[in-house]
Chains A and B, each alone.
Chain A
Amino acid sequence: GAVVSQHPSRVICKSGTSVKIECRSLDFQATTMFWYRQFPKKSLMLMATSNEGSKATYEQGVEKDKFLINHASLTLSTLTVTSAHPEDSSFYICSALTGGEAFFGQGTRLTVV
């Protein structure tokens, strides 16, 4: 199957700092990528849809100024958690579509201390 890679897999940052998470489609191009968030022992919740060359579409209740998304190329989308707080600690997962099927990255565990 297609490969979607996230980096980093784990990150610890201090409160108030910003953290960038990358999502790459390694063997296909993706005009659209998707960012999910997963709290411990919970399900995945879609945060936003990342569109190459245009603004991201955010789900209701997700702060666009808090979670900055940039989709600068057909193989890379980035999610930046700005001014991180402990409540932003979570597992962030991206996905990309190819052939109508969604492929997920391995996730990024963010811990804000």
Chain B
Amino acid sequence: EPEVTQTPSHQVTQMGQEVILRCVPISNHLYFYWYRQILGQKVEFLVSFYNNEISEKSEIFDDQFSVERPDGSNFTLKIRSTKLEDSAMYFCASRRSFTEAFFGQGTRLTVV
């Protein structure tokens, strides 16, 4: 069964460092998403991406965040200068136009 793959599963980084979280969506999917879940809180939408551009983003997704689909298969989330409050589980998801969204297993980001 096709699946969304995220790497790494766990990343520890120093405050102020840049991190790139990687996702490989399902190959024929067209819509891509990033979410985060701070420990003990609900899942929050960050950004959606379609046709090689951002289609929606939340208030959380400020100038410190960016997304890219550099090579037609990977979908990355970059955090330019990490803060302690960026520590969370980050989920990637993808879907075709009228299907369920498929989620990756998540990357646990710990900023120290």
Do chains A and B interact in one complex?
Answer: no
